[in-house]
Chain A
Amino acid sequence: MRFPNFALNWPAAIALLLLLSSAPAHAGKTLDQIRQRAQLVCGVSTGVIGFSSADSQGRWNGLDVDVCRAIAAAVLNDPNKVKYVPLNAQQRFTALQSGEVDLLSRNTTWTLTRDASLGLHFTAITYHDGQGFLVPKKLKLTSAKQLKNAEICVQSGTTTEKNLSDYFKAQGIRIKPVVFEKFEASIKAFFSGRCQAYTTDASALAFIRAKEAPRPDDYAVLPELISKEPLGPVVRRGDDEWFAIVKWVIFALIEAEEYGVTQANLEQMKASGDPAIQRLLGTAEDSGKLLGLDRDWAARAVKAVGNYGEMFQRNVGDASPLKLRAALNALWSKGGRKVAVQAGRVRWA
C-alpha cells in the first residue's frame, strides 16, 4: 500500500471551501473564550530564527512570540498563559479561519489579497522586511537583473514565491523558480548547486549565508530588495473587539519605545508627569476601559516583553544571533517606518 502524496494545493482548496461555507463558524467573542480557558492560543511558525522558535526544552521565543506574550499579559495578566501552535506556511490561514488559533503571529506578509479575501484582518505591522537574493560569488553577479534564465531556489506557499515571479515578469526577464516545501530542503538544494540564486526575506539571508553556507565567503547577498514585506499578526474577521485589542497592544509597545518607557524603568515611568505616558500606562485615565480591559493593560504588556525596541534588540538585533540593524524598523522619528497610532494623545472624554 502506498499513500500517494499529491502536489495538489489541498490547503488552498480547503481554505476556499471554508470561505464558501460563509457563516462565521466561531462567532463567539474571542476575548471571552480566551478568558474562559485562561489561555491565549497563538499560531506561530515551525521555526524561524528570531521570530518564533522553540528551544531544546520546548520554550518558545522570538519577536512574533513576544507579541503573543504581550497580548497575554494585557488580557490575562500573565505572559506565560499562551499555547503556541506551530503552523507551516500553507496551513496558517486555515488554522485561523477554523478557530484553531485566536491569533496568527507568524511572520506573515500583509497583502491586499490576504487581507480582503481570506476572512482575516491584519492588525498592525510588527516588522518591515524585504526580499533579497543570495548568490555564489563565482557567478560574479552584481544585480538581480543579471539573473536571466537562472534557476532560483524558493520556498513554496509564501509571498516570496509570488514576488519572485512578479518581479522578473515586470523586468521582462525569464527565470526558472525551483520550489521547495521545506526550508531545509530549499537551502540544501541551493548550497549543493541546484540553483544559481536563493531568495527569501532579507532578515534571513545574512544569517543563512553566515551559518548554512559551507564557506560563507563564497556567497554574497545582492544589494537590491525586490519587495516590501510588511509582517504582522492576523486575526479572524467578525470580532472587532479582539481585532482592536491586538492592534492596540502592538501600538502600545511601539509608543512605549517612543516615550522611552522600558521594562526596567516602567515603575518610575508610572510616576511620570507626562500626560501621554500617564494615559498609556493608565495612571491618569483608564485607557483600557474602551478595549474591554483594565487600566494597566499596556503597562503589563511592556513589563512582560519590554517596548518594541527592546523586543527587536533581544530577538533579531544586536543581542541575538541575527544581528539585524533596525533600519526600516526604527521609529519614524529616527528615520524608520515604525509608527503607532497614538494611544497617549487621543482624547475620549
Chain B
Amino acid sequence: MNRVATTRAWLRRNLFSDVFSGLTTLLLLAGGVHWLPGLIDWVLLQAVFTPDAAACEAVDHAGACWGVVAEKYRFILFGRYPYAEQWRPLLATTLLLLVIVASGLRLLACGPLLAAWLLALPAFFVLMGGGYFGLTAVGSDLWGGLPLTLLLATMGMLLALPLAVLVALGRQSSLPLPRALCTVYVELVRGVPLISVLFLASFLFPIILPQGSSVDVLLRVQGGIVLFAAAYLSETIRGGLQAVPGGQHDAAAALGLGRWQAMRWIILPQALRAVIPSVMNSAVSIFKDTSLVTVVSLYELTGALSLALAGDAEWRSFHLEGYLFIGLIYWIGCYAMSRFSRTLELEGGLQRKSLQGLG
C-alpha cells in the first residue's frame, strides 16, 4: 500500500504536476508505444548481425543489417592503413584514448599526467608512422579512420588553446603591433570557411613552397585546423578576459604582483573558468568538424565509411547502419566531453564557494 502511495506521489510530482506536463507525458508515452516496437524490431529482432550479405539482402531493410559493420569495421575504424599492420593504429588509438580518459577523470596528478602525455604522443606517432624499431614506414596520407579523427581533434585542441590565449592577450595588448597582428589574424581566419583553409593548406601551400621541399599533407591540414580553431577560441577567451572585473587587476597590483604574475595567477584562471562551457563547445565542434578533411583526401571516420561502402556492390545499400555506427562513436566522444565540461564547472563552482568561505 505504502509503495503504491509513494509511486503515485512520485508520478504526480514528476509527470502530472499540471495539465501541460500531464499532456506532454501522455503524448510521449503514446509516441513511445507507437514507435518503440518498430524500432526494437528494426534494431534487434529482425536485424542481421553476421557479415552475410545474402542474409542482409533477404531481410531487405525490414531489419538493420549490422553485418555491414561486422564486415567493414576495420576499414571504417582504420581507413586506408595497410590491413596487415592495423594492430598499430589500434594500439596507438588505445594509448591516446587512455591518456585522454586519464586526463578527463583526473586519474593522475599533474606531473605524471604530463609525463603520460609526453610519452603517449611520440608513441602514437612512432606506432602510426613506423620507420623505427623495425616497423615499416606508413605515409601519413594512409592514416585514416578513428586514429586520424582523434589525432586531428586532440592536437587541434592541445595546440589551439595556448595559441588562442596568446592571441587573446595580444588583442588586449596596449602595444599597437601585436594588437594589429592578432586582430588581422583572427579576422582573416575567421572570415573564411574551414573547408577553404583546408584546401589552401592541402593544394595551394605546396605550390607556394620552393620546389623540391614539401611538407607532409597531414601536417599542413593539422596546421590549418589549429590556426582555424585558435582564431575562434581566442575570441571566446577574450570574452572571458573582459569578464574579469577591473578590481581584480587593481587587487593584484596592490599585492605587489607584476603584470605577468597577475595574469598567470589572478586573471587567466578566472577568465578561463568563466569560458569552460564555450571552450568545450569548441572542442566538440572541432571533434566533429575533423570530418571535413575528407575533402583533401584524408579519410577519417566519415570518409573511411563512405570509402568502405561506396564501391562495394554487396554492402553499398546498407550505409544507414554504417552511419549509425560512426554516429555512435561521435556521440560517445561528444557526450564524454560534455560530462567532462560539467565536472570542471562544478569543481570551479565548489572552489569558488570554499574560497568565499575562507574569505
> Could you list which residues of chain A lie within 8 angstroms of chain B, going by C-beta atoms?
1-6, 8, 10-11, 14, 17-18, 21, 25-26, 45-49, 52-59, 62, 83, 85-88, 90-91, 94-95, 98-100, 182-184, 207, 211-212, 214, 321-322
Contacts and interface: CB of A to CB of B under 8 A. Distances in A.
A48 B311 CA distance: 5
A183 B199 contact: no
Nearest to B72: A56
B264 interface: no
A338 B316 CA distance: 31
Contact of A14 (B81, B203, B217, B228): B203
A47 B313 contact: no
Contact of B203 (A18, A26, A59, A211): A18
B296 A53 contact: no
Given A3-B292, A212-B317, A53 B211 contact: no
Contact of A98 (B142, B207, B310): B207
B243 to A, nearest CB: 18
Contacts of B310: 46-48, 53, 183-184
Contact of A56 (B75, B199, B313): B75
A21 B207 contact: yes
Interface string B308-324: 11111110110100000
B311 A54 contact: yes
Contacts of A11: 199
Contacts of A10: 195-196, 199
Nearest to A11: B199
Interface of B: 61, 71-72, 74-75, 80-83, 139, 141-142, 193-196, 199-200, 203-204, 206-207, 211, 217, 228-229, 232-233, 236, 278, 281-282, 285, 289, 292, 294-297, 299, 303, 306-314, 316-317, 319
Contact of A58 (B75, B194, B236): B75
Contacts of B296: 91
B297 A95 contact: yes
A57 B282 CA distance: 35
14 contacts: A1-B229, A1-B281, A6-B193, A10-B199, A46-B303, A53-B310, A56-B72, A56-B75, A56-B308, A86-B80, A98-B207, A100-B297, A182-B306, A211-B317
Secondary structure class of chain B's binding surface, majority of residues: helix
A85 B211 CA distance: 22
A234 B198 CA distance: 25
Contacts of A99: 206
Nearest to A85: B297
Nearest to B282: A1
A65 to B, nearest CB: 10
Nearest to B281: A1
Contacts of A54: 75, 80, 307-308, 311
A153 to B, nearest CB: 16
Contact of A184 (B80, B306, B314): B306
Given A1-B281, A86-B307, A94 B203 contact: yes
A8 B160 CA distance: 27
B301 to A, nearest CB: 15
A207 B310 CA distance: 13
Contacts of B81: 58
Sorted from nearest, which 3 A-B pairs have the closest CB atoms?
A53-B311, A47-B310, A47-B311
B66 to A, nearest CB: 15
A17 B202 CA distance: 13
A6 B196 contact: yes
Contacts of B194: 3-5
Contacts of A18: 203-204, 207
A8 B193 CA distance: 10
A54 B207 CA distance: 30
Contacts of A211: 313, 316-317
Interface centre among B142, B281, B295, B309 (most CB of A within 10 A): B295
B204 A14 contact: yes
A87 B229 CA distance: 26
A147 to B, nearest CB: 26
Contact of B311 (A1, A5, A57, A62): A62
A10 B296 CA distance: 12
Contacts of B72: 56
A183 B139 CA distance: 28
B297 A91 contact: yes
Contacts of A90: 295
Given A86-B297, A211-B317, A56 B74 contact: yes
Given A85-B141, A98-B203, A183-B310, A212 B316 contact: yes
Given A6-B195, A83-B139, 8 more contacts: A14-B199, A17-B204, A47-B309, A52-B311, A56-B75, A56-B308, A57-B83, A88-B294
A56 B193 contact: no
Contacts of B82: 58
A183 B317 CA distance: 11
A1 B294 CA distance: 20
A132 B312 CA distance: 22
B317 A47 contact: no
